[in-house]
Structure 1
Amino acid sequence: MYYWSDEIAPSSGRRGLRWGFTSRRGGVSAPPHDELNLGGRTGDDPDAVARNREVVASSVGVTVDRLLFMDQCHGTDVVVVDGPWAGSTPPADGMVTTRDDLALAVLVADCVPVLLADRVAGVVGVVHAGRPGMTARIVDEAVASMRALGALRIIAAVGPSVCGRCYEVPAAMRDAAADVSPVSATVSWSGTPAIDVAAGVVDQLRGHDVAVTWVPGCSREDERLYSYRQTGQTGRFAGVVRLGPLAATA
């Protein structure tokens, strides 16, 4: 079910943490969304998506109504979450919370999923960073939102996404990305202009003194992941994070 995951036990003054990136294995969706599609706007059977989300919610110890998704729109809005959505899901590309009874999720199928945590302050967050989000520096907004909630020592897990070799773009688009994060400018397998969005995201996180775990993998090259660039109609995998409790005191 998970492409990569980690669970960190609570320790003195530090909360526990569960976070990871799902794969496309272990769900009930039929082709072309097979198997663990978590995206609700992909043309998949809504009942299958709901069952898949229940599986992921259970894996991090919450009920499905407490596994929160965003209405992602390639913007820079980051919302502070303190409970299940009341009404429609808000448009946003980042969420942060101090609640340990919620799990936050970000959907991707080539874009960069980012998970954030400060185990001391007790703050976690997620970010959807495609090329528009990276160049608009949504990372800055997410870090600022976490710090407004008291975060000081932020760590991040950056998940698999389409790699620079597979993300061919017009030269002007690559140049615009390089103006924001020079390390994002690269070339494709065939030597044409390309963008490494994840490299730009990691560069921006490190610019905020965020310690980064960068999970290797290319969504277009790895059949365990969903990739819009590879297949067109496809599902979505997710980055999921949940804050854990403080260590028990004697």
Structure 2
Amino acid sequence: MARLLFTARQFGSLADPVSSGNIERLSKLLAKPIQIMTQDHGNQVSVIEQSISAPVADAIVSNNKEIALVVRVADCLPLLLYSTNVIAAVHVGRKGLMNQVAVNAVAEMKKLGAKDITGVVGPHICGKCYEVGADIFAEVTAAYPATFKKQNHLDLYAGLVSQLPEVKLSNVNLCTKENTDYFSYRAHGEGGRQVGVISL
């Protein structure tokens, strides 16, 4: 059974440069080494066999019970995926939705034998708060009509649900822009990052 958690502002930021003290605190919480990634809004998935320096990726996948995977976010979706024997941490923003990074992560999980995959999305900017330009809105809603919340506002979680019909997804329903307990670039222009963490 997977264990997962989402941090809030009170825990401290894990933005670059990542605080070794905060990594150590996370590691102690789960009694395991912590694996982070260097996120760049791409669609790369890194399969982690053992703890390594941060790969350039927006999804990390593992079947190693001895490590915990971390995704860092402010307003993007922190997606944690798990089956009985495989886990993933995925960074899904607007670009990540469009380039199908979560789809790639699920595919890598299946290569490792994952079945009946479940996902949880932590605090992120909600559809009524995520306003974008008209061109971006038209592009995203054309590809994923479920993202249409209201004019020029995107619901990325709804888009993710439509993108992963075979994955049982749930949402903690906490908006980073509305809730001051969380870091939000949209709300405050800040660079802090909370994290989603998962382990087997």
Q: Same fold (TM over 0.5)?
A: yes
| Per-residue CA distance 1:120-144 (angstroms, 9 max, x = gap) | xx10001100100001111110110
In the alignment, which of 58, 61, 84 is matched to residue 93 of structure 1? 58
Q: Partner of 2:195 in structure 1?
A: 238
Give the deviation of 1:81 after TM superposition.
Answer: 0.2
Alignment of 1:82 onto 2:49 = yes
Distance, in Å, in 2 between the alignment partners of 1:59 and 1:224 is 20
| Per-residue CA distance 1:1-23 (angstroms, 9 max, x = gap) | xxxxxxxxxxxxxxx22102111
Give the deviation of 1:179 after TM superposition.
Answer: 2.2
Q: Partner of 1:68 in structure 2?
A: 35
Q: Partner of 1:216 in structure 2?
A: 173
SS at match of 1:239: strand
Superposition misfits of 4+ residues, deviation over 3 angstroms: none
Q: Partner of 1:104 in structure 2?
A: 69
Uncovered stretches (5+) of structure 1, i.e. residues with no partner: 1-15, 27-35, 244-250
Distance, in Å, in 1 between the alignment partners of 2:183 and 2:42 is 22
Uncovered stretches (5+) of structure 2, i.e. residues with no partner: none
Which amino acid counterpart does residue 111 of structure 1 have in structure 2? C
Q: How does 1:1-250 map to 2 (within 5 A)?
A: 16-26=1-11, 36-41=12-17, 49-62=19-32, 66-85=33-52, 88-119=53-84, 122-187=85-150, 192-205=151-164, 207=165, 209-243=166-200
Distance, in Å, in 2 between the alignment partners of 1:233 and 1:166 is 16
SS at match of 2:181: coil
Give the deviation of 1:39 after TM superposition.
Answer: 1.5
Whether the aligned pair in 2 keeps the contact of 1:175 and 1:185 (CA below 8 Å) is no
Distance, in Å, in 2 between the alignment partners of 1:114 and 1:233 is 21
Whether the aligned pair in 2 keeps the contact of 1:158 and 1:202 (CA below 8 Å) is no
Which amino acid counterpart does residue 29 of structure 2 have in structure 1? S
Distance, in Å, in 2 between the alignment partners of 1:96 and 1:80 is 5
SS at match of 1:169: coil
Distance, in Å, in 1 between the alignment partners of 2:102 and 2:131 is 23
SS at match of 1:74: coil
Whether the aligned pair in 1 keeps the contact of 2:2 and 2:87 (CA below 8 Å) is no
Which amino acid counterpart does residue 69 of structure 1 have in structure 2? I
Distance, in Å, in 2 between the alignment partners of 1:153 and 1:136 is 23
Give the deviation of 1:78 after TM superposition.
Answer: 0.4
What percent of counterpart residues are identical? Answer: 36
User: Normalising to structure 1: TM-score of the pair?
Assistant: 0.77
Give the deviation of 1:40 after TM superposition.
Answer: 2.0
